[in-house]
Structure 1
Amino acid sequence: MTRGWTPLALVYLVLSIVGLVGTAIYNVLAVLQHRNFFGDWFAGGPAISSLTTDLLVAAVAGSILIIIEARRLGMRRGWLYVVGSALTAFAFTFPLFLAMRERKLAAERGRSSDRTPPPGPPAP
């Protein structure tokens, strides 16, 4: 794979792009139709309220995961994914974080295999 882009990282990256484009389409439609975006979002009835709650809880849990995992792996500026989700969509930033996380893990695997001496006879 090219420079840390494992198949899993590519899947996450594609999901990130789908999340960005999919949410942007509906946001643009709301603007073009002069809809009260937040009014429609919160006052749309039980189904929309259920979806909103579902997504909000997942986004909060995912944001916590992003901060903790980024720190654990030494990924710099992990908080930008959380801020970015408020400016774009969590459906974009969470898979993007997972793609970057996978690249970091792949790089670490590459570094650890470089340090492993090749198998050979034991030293006397």
Structure 2
Amino acid sequence: MTKHWTPLAITWLVLAIVGLVGTWTFNTLAIIQSRNFIGDWVGSGPSVSSLTVDLLVVAVAGSILIVIESHRLGMKRAWLYIVLSGLTAFAFTFPLFLAMRERKLTAARVPSA
């Protein structure tokens, strides 16, 4: 189970878990309160809109990185990270991708026995 788990890969994995728990805590709260999630996200003033654009640009750039880097490294089904980000959060899927990428890089450096 610990094969190819470097400290950096574990760091990315911990960030993925924090991203999942943190975002889903607020998502659950929004559902319980019957909030208009998208309306609240983009309609609460210029500061929230600025943050929305900021995070959206980062998510698009990260998605492009996922596609290009996974193709370069031969990682299969990387598109699932992007699809999962719509169901969970990019704060979860991007660090998760980085953890799996680190494992792939570590495995490539370790000679096969």
Which bracket does the TM-score occupy, shorter chain normalised? Answer: over 0.9
Residue 4 of structure 2 corresponds to 4
CA distance in 1, matches of 2:60, 2:17: 20
CA distance in 1, matches of 2:43, 2:26: 17
Residue 82 of structure 1 corresponds to 82
Structure number with greater Rg is 1
Amino acid at match of 1:69: E
Residue 34 of structure 1 corresponds to 34
- 1:34: Cα distance to partner? 1.3
1:39-118 maps to which residues of 2 (within 5 A)? 39-111=39-111
CA distance in 2, matches of 1:34, 1:75: 39
Which structure has the higher relative contact order (CA within 8 Å, separation 6+)? Answer: 2
- 1:11: Cα distance to partner? 0.1
CA distance in 2, matches of 1:68, 1:98: 13
Q: Secondary structure of the residue that 1:13 maps to in structure 2?
A: helix
CA distance in 2, matches of 1:46, 1:102: 37
CA distance in 2, matches of 1:85, 1:31: 18
Is 2:21 the counterpart of 1:21?
Answer: yes
Q: Which runs of 5+ in 2 are unaligned?
A: none
Identity %: 69
Q: TM-score, normalised by structure 1?
A: 0.88
Q: TM-score, normalised by structure 2?
A: 0.96
- 1:39: Cα distance to partner? 0.8
